[in-house]
């Protein structure tokens, strides 16, 4: 006789077992996919939530200084028979003398007037002599000593100077002649 024939019940049981196993795997895969999706979603949310930052800032300010020079210790002298006066003027109203007006009278050929003074840096930054300009009528010679172009005057430093005005032999009687000295300062470099 041959091999025994399996019963219909055995095969049905086997089919049911396979179906249950597939359904179980499907449910397990479905749960696994859900779990992976949840983990990924939480990772993205967690990454966004756990993203840390730190910022460095630099802030600053600069208060500028003041460039300010003044005349101090003003004195004068003249040749015999001449008189001279020196008036100090505060032209920028900062309570220091920044202009000198020298007036000489009784001048004659070979007569002279000397004015000595100190230039004081009363500002908060060094002062740099940018230019010195001397102009005068040809009947006068004006000379400034003690200070030169490009000279630096430190804060609170004093520089002693002398202005000499000499009357030339070409001067006419009863005539007024003028001279001007301008010293321009800047902050330098």
Give the pLDDT confidence of 113-131 residue by residue, as tens digits: 999 999 999 999 999 999 9
Q: Do 94 and 122 share a domain, yes or no?
A: yes
- Please report, for residues 141, 168, 177, the alpha-carbon distance to residue 112 in angstroms, rounded to integers and kept in the order given: 9, 9, 13
Residues 85 and 43 grouped into a single domain: no
Average pLDDT in the chain: 88
Hey, which bits of 36-157 come out as E strands? 69-78, 83-89, 99-105, 112-121, 127-136, 140-145, 152-153
Asked whether residue 92 falls in the same domain as residue 178, the answer is yes
Residue 84 near residue 103, CB atoms below 8 Å: yes
Residues 24 and 93 in one domain: no
Percent of the chain residues topping a pLDDT of 70 = 89
Task: Supply the pLDDT for residue 158.
Answer: 98
Query: Do 135 and 47 belong together in one domain?
Result: no
pTM above 0.75, yes or no: no
**Residue 55 and residue 114 in one domain:** no
Give the C-alpha separation, 115 to 72, whole Å.
Answer: 12
Is the pLDDT reported for residue 40 higher than 90?
A: no
Cα–Cα distance, 106 to 81 (Å, whole number): 6
Do both 98 and 38 map to the same domain?
A: no
* Interval 2-14: pLDDT, tens: 555 555 667 777 7
Answer yes or no: do 78 and 155 share one domain: yes
Question: 33-42, 66-75, 88-97, 112-121: which has the minimum mean pLDDT?
Answer: 33-42
* pLDDT (0 to 100) of residue 24: 72
Give how many domains the chain has, as a whole number: 2
Place of tokens 């040809």: 138
Residues 162 and 116 sit within 8 Å (Cβ to Cβ): yes
Sign of torsion over alpha carbons 165, 166, 168, 173: positive
**DSSP-based three-state secondary structure for 15:** helix
The partner residues of 180 in beta bridges, in order of sequence, read 135
Does the pLDDT value for residue 154 go beyond 90?
Answer: yes
Which of the listed residues 14, 38, 60 is the one where a domain comes to its end? Answer: 60
Its domain, for residue 180, covers 69-186
């Amino acid at each position: 006789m041959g091999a025994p024939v399996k019963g219909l019940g055995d095969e049905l049981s086997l089919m049911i077992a396979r179906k249950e196993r597939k359904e179980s795997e499907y449910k397990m895969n479905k749960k696994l996919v859900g779990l992976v999706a949840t983990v990924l979603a939480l990772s993205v949310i967690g990454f966004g939530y756990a993203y840390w930052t730190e910022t460095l800032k630099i802030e600053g300010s600069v208060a500028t200084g003041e460039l300010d020079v003044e005349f101090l210790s003003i004195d004068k002298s003249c040749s015999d028979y001449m008189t001279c006066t020196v008036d100090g003027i505060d032209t920028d109203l900062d309570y220091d003398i920044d202009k000198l007006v020298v007036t000489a009278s009784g001048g004659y050929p070979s007569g002279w007037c000397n004015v000595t003074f100190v230039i004081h840096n009363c500002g908060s930054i060094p002062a740099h002599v940018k230019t010195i300009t001397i102009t005068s009528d040809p009947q006068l010679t004006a000379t400034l000593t003690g200070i030169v172009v490009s000279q630096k005057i430190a804060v609170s430093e004093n520089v002693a100077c002398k202005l000499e005005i000499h009357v030339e032999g070409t001067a006419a009687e009863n005539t007024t002649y003028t001279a001007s000295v301008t010293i321009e300062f800047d902050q330098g470099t």
